[in-house]
Amino acid sequence: MSRNDDIDINAYVDGELTPDERLEVLAALRENPDLAREACELHNLKSQLHLAYANPPGPGRKPGRRKPSALIGIAASLLALAIGVTGGWFAGSNDIRPDRLVLLDPQGRGQAPATAESDATRIVFHLTTSDQVAAGELLDDIEAMLDAYHENGNALRVEVVSNGDGLDFLRERLSRHKVRIKQLAEDYGNLTFVACKNTIDRVEVEDGIEINVLPEAEVIDSGVNHVVRRQKEGWAYIRV
C-alpha cells in the first residue's frame, strides 16, 4: 500500500475527511478487504489506547501537518460508543506497554487512572477573542482545576480551542503566554491546545504573511466544527 493510502485511512479513522473524501475511502474499503482490515485494526488500536489512558495526547507537535495520532481522542470516543453498542467487542491482543504511559505523560502529573472515558470530566474551552488578559485568567482557572482534579484522583481532559481573534493566543508573534503555555503543556499530559486551520489560512491570505503557531498547538481543520464535535461527544463546553 502506498504512503497516501496510509494517510487517507488514518484521516478516515480520525473522522477528518470531507464527505466526498469519506465516500471515496468507503468505496475503497468495500473493494479492498486488506484495507478494510487495516482500518479496523487502526480503530481497535485507537480505542484500546484511549480506553487504557483516558488522556491520550502528550508532547507538542509541529503545526501545519496533520498527524493522525493527534485526533485519537475524537476517533476513540466515537469508537468507544460504537464498541459499547456492539457489545464490548475487542479484537487482537492488548499490547500497550507501561512505557507508553511515559511517552504520553512525561511528568506523570495530572493523569488520574481512568479505565473508561465516561469516568473523566472533559471540558473544551472556546477562545474566540483577542483578549489575552482573559486568556491568562483562563490558564489560571485551568491550572487550578487540573491540580484539584489530580489531588482528588479524578480524571480530567481539557482542550483549549482557539479560532478567529482567539488565534492570537497561540501565534508565535502575538501570544503573550508562550512560556506559560509551553510549561503547562509539558506539565499536564491531559491539557491540549488546538488552533484552527481555517483561521490560519484566512489570516495568511488577508494579511499576506505566514502564520506560525506555537509548537504546543495542534492544528485542526475547523475550530468551530471541533467544539461542536466535542459537545456531541459529551464534553462540557465553556466559552472564554
Partner 1 sequence: MRKYFYTLIALLAWIGLPASQALADNGYSKQKVVYHINYDDPKTQAGALRNIQNHINAVGADKLDIKVVLHGNGLALLILPEAMPDLPKFKHANANDQMAARIDGLKQQNVSFQVCANTVRGRKVSVEDHLYDVEDSDIVPSGVAELARLQQLGYVYIKP
* Residues found near partner 1 in the complex (CB under 8 A): 85, 121, 123, 134, 137, 141-142, 144-145, 148, 236-240
Specify the long-range contacts of residues 81-86, CB closer than 8 Å, at least 24 apart: 83/47
Whichever of 102 and 236 has its CB closer to partner 1, that residue is 236
Q: How far apart are CA 11 and CA 65, in angstroms?
A: 12
What is the nearest approach in angstroms of partner 1 to the Cβ of residue 123? 5
Bridge partners of residue 217, in order along the sequence: 193
Query: DSSP letters of 135-166?
Result: HHHHHHHHHHHHHHHHHTT--EEEEEEE-GGG
What is the nearest approach in angstroms of partner 1 to the Cβ of residue 77? 15
Whichever of 85 and 179 has its CB closer to partner 1, that residue is 85
Per DSSP, the three-state class of 58 is coil
What is the nearest approach in angstroms of partner 1 to the Cβ of residue 13? 17
Whichever of 135 and 167 has its CB closer to partner 1, that residue is 135
End-to-end, the C-alpha distance of the chain in Å comes to 44
Whichever of 148 and 174 has its CB closer to partner 1, that residue is 148
Residue 3: partners with Cβ closer than 8 Å, 6 or more residues away: none
Whichever of 60 and 136 has its CB closer to partner 1, that residue is 136
What is the nearest approach in angstroms of partner 1 to the Cβ of residue 5? 26
What is the nearest approach in angstroms of partner 1 to the Cβ of residue 192? 16
Question: Whose CA is closest to 129, among 138, 121, 119?
Answer: 138
Q: How far apart are CA 167 and CA 187, in angstroms?
A: 22
Whichever of 44 and 129 has its CB closer to partner 1, that residue is 129
Question: Whose CA is closest to 39, among 85, 5, 81, 74?
Answer: 5
Distance from the Cα of residue 68 to its chain's centroid: 10
Do residues 60 and 215 touch, judged by C-beta distance below 8 A?
yes
What is the nearest approach in angstroms of partner 1 to the Cβ of residue 70? 23
What is the nearest approach in angstroms of partner 1 to the Cβ of residue 231? 9
Whichever of 134 and 174 has its CB closer to partner 1, that residue is 134
